[in-house]
Amino acid sequence: MDIGGKVAVVTGAGAGIGAAIARSLARGGARVAVADLNGDAANGVAAEISAEIPGSAFAFAGDVSDERVITELVNRAEAEFGPVDLYFANAGVTGGPGLDSTEEQWAAALGVNVMAHVRAARVVVPRWLERDGGYFVSTASAAGLLTQLGSAPYAVSKHAAVGFAEWLSVTYGDRGIAVSCLCPMGVETALLRSGFGSGVEEAELASRSVTSSGAVLTPDDVAADVLAAIADERFLILPHPEVGDFFKHKATDYERWLRGMRGYQAALRSTE
């Protein structure tokens, strides 16, 4: 897909990966709805984009795990710019640690990291089928292909996000709807530094397991990979190419991979 002239919705766009994607889309000629739960953050990013490229962005504040809010967001984007061509389900939360995660933490992780994608698809896919095309981009994580030490809700919800993106692609890929799934490891965002690293032992383990396993990329690095993948209509987006190798090792020898992850976890704990 050529993003020039297209209309895009980006959730979780008040900072981090979402903000970088929104900026990159606008610079590529798209018009962008910058959505975030934090209205001030969304306003800041939209204002920055509009100052550089007038008329190319607007801000929207709301909880995009709520289907009524998603409908309002998409309707607003279509009223401002025209039919939505791309939807980036990028908003995410870390969830809690392990078996002691609360029901509320599980509900938040599943609601934002998975069901927000499902509910967004309910809104946009029927419209795209009527118009013969659209593009859905799901932000998951390397944790969705591998796992996440120190955070059961994050690991489980990101696996589910990958699974839903796969299902969308299989079900609608021959009907004009493209799907990509973004699975990075460490990215320099507040989610990595404060979402996991909160002073709680398991949270610290979760953060260090990511920062110790590979390079920590900038959001702009990730956004560049996302736009390249969209141009190729490529499903799996791996800003850290080594994730693909890890995934192959997991698939070819699950028992060895599990032993390796337990060993990696033990090594991280020994350095605490």
CA–CA distance, 221 with 79 (Å, rounded to integer): 31
C-alpha triplet 260, 266, 272: angle, nearest 5°:
145
Per-residue HEC secondary structure of the chain comes to CCCCCCEEEECCCCCHHHHHHHHHHHHCCCEEEEEECCHHHHHHHHHHHHHHCCCCEEEEECCCCCHHHHHHHHHHHHHHHCCCCEEEECCCCCCCCCCCCCHHHHHHHHHHHHHHHHHHHHHHHHHHHHHCCEEEEEECCHHHCCCCCCCHHHHHHHHHHHHHHHHHHHHHHHHCEEEEEECCCCECCHHHHHHHCCCCHHHHHHHHHHHCCCCCECHHHHHHHHHHHHHHCCCEECCCCHHHHHHHHHHHCHHHHHHHHHHHHHHHHHCC
Residue 254 annotated to the active site: no
CA–CA distance, 232 with 245 (Å, rounded to integer): 21
Catalytic position from the list 87, 135, 154, 172: 154
Catalytic residues: 154
